[in-house]
Amino acid sequence: MSGAVREVGSGTENVLGRVADGVGVIELNRPERRNALHPDMYDAIPRLIEAYETDDEVGCVLVTAAGPAFCAGGDLRLGTGRAGGDGGDGDGGDGAAALTRLARMVVLLRESSKISIAALPGPAVGAGLGLALAADLRVAAASASLIGGWSRLAFSGDFGGAWALTRMLGPARALEFLIGTEPIDAATGERLGLFNRVVPDAELRATALAWAREIAAGPRGAYALMKENVRDAQVMGLREALPRESERMARSGRSREHRDAVRRRLSDRST
């Protein structure tokens, strides 16, 4: 990052937060465990998302990870990957409520008004896949991949993975991936629209930061409204969505950033 860096505390060394050049970074920091989710990360990641949401300096959120992997999912050695709590065959009511709370990071990221980018240096597995797909945009290193991982452990899936995959791939392809064991590599992910960009491994960090800085420097209010339009398009018909889109267009037209953009455009044309 080219500007001054401001560290933002997450409450744990397993997740690092910092802001510079308008970009709020969330960096998973357990490279020795392939960034598998430690118990304290379930609070740390939402804490940073919420902090950046109310931080006027932040115009884009970048979620990435230290080391050669993005996130290996819940850390089974610590018991955090056992959705049923005691692993028994009960109805899992208590376990379901707890898991929903742990997974709130994907809801917060998706519902944030800030544009978010997930930068994947390597595999995203299980809950890590859900976190990656919760971001608005994704840039992947050539060695990155998406791995369900749930079927190998006889889990049905969590962290919004099935929800996101169904909307992005369609139900048949999503189910095929979920019940299978084959990963989606970076090139295939880009072809399917799961990754927006794929770059050489050595270029991932610079590419992701440059993209995030470009977004942060843009019309943030308009971007937030565009994100709402896209969200509506996923759940509404055109007749229902059009008035909401129109209201946002009118609102953006009354904004200072719109007036400034028009002024710059006219100035550019006159030179």
Q: What is the pLDDT of residues 204-217, one digit of tens each?
A: 999 999 999 999 99
Number of residues that make up the chain:
271
User: What pLDDT is attached to residue 86?
Assistant: 41
How far apart CA 29 and CA 33 sit, in angstroms, is 9
Amino acid at the residue 131: L
Q: What is the mean pLDDT of residues 2-30?
A: 96
Q: Are 149 and 74 in contact (CB under 8 A)?
A: no
Q: Which residue has the higher pLDDT, 3 or 156?
A: 156
Q: Are 29 and 70 in contact (CB under 8 A)?
A: no
Q: CA geometry: angle at 104 spanning 130 and 160, to 5°?
A: 30
Look at residue 60 and give its three-state secondary structure: strand
pLDDT confidence bin for 257, thresholds 50/70/90? very high
Whether residue 88 has pLDDT greater than 80: no
Whether residue 32 has pLDDT greater than 50: yes
User: What pLDDT is attached to residue 94?
Assistant: 74
How far apart CA 142 and CA 203 sit, in angstroms, is 10
Task: For 99-134, write each residue's pLDDT tens digit.
Answer: 999 999 999 999 999 999 999 999 999 999 999 999
Whether residue 14 has pLDDT greater than 80: yes
**84-92 CB contacts, 8 Å cutoff, 24+ apart:** none
Whether residue 87 has pLDDT greater than 60: no
CA dihedral 252, 257, 259, 265 (to 10 degrees): -110
Look at residue 186 and give its three-state secondary structure: helix
pLDDT confidence bin for 85, thresholds 50/70/90? very low
Q: Do the bridges between strand 145-147 and strand 184-185 make them parallel or antiparallel, or are there none, so unpaired?
A: antiparallel
Task: For 38-63, write each residue's pLDDT tens digit.
Answer: 999 999 999 999 999 999 999 999 99
CA distances to 23, 58, 97, 236, 249 from 258, rounded to whole Å, are 22, 19, 43, 27, 11
Q: Which residue has the higher pLDDT, 76 or 121?
A: 121
Q: Return the half-sphere exposure (C-beta side, CA atoms, 13 A cut-off) of residue 78.
A: 11
Computed over every residue of the chain, the mean pLDDT equals: 93
pLDDT confidence bin for 157, thresholds 50/70/90? very high
User: What pLDDT is attached to residue 3?
Assistant: 74
User: What pLDDT is attached to residue 84?
Assistant: 47
Q: CA geometry: angle at 217 spanning 212 and 222, to 5°?
A: 100
Q: Are 33 and 55 in contact (CB under 8 A)?
A: no
Whether residue 81 has pLDDT greater than 70: no
Q: Are 200 and 143 in contact (CB under 8 A)?
A: no
Q: Which residue has the higher pLDDT, 233 or 89?
A: 233
**Alpha-helical segments (H) within 180-236:** 186-192, 204-216, 220-233
How far apart CA 73 and CA 30 sit, in angstroms, is 12
Q: Are 24 and 44 in contact (CB under 8 A)?
A: no
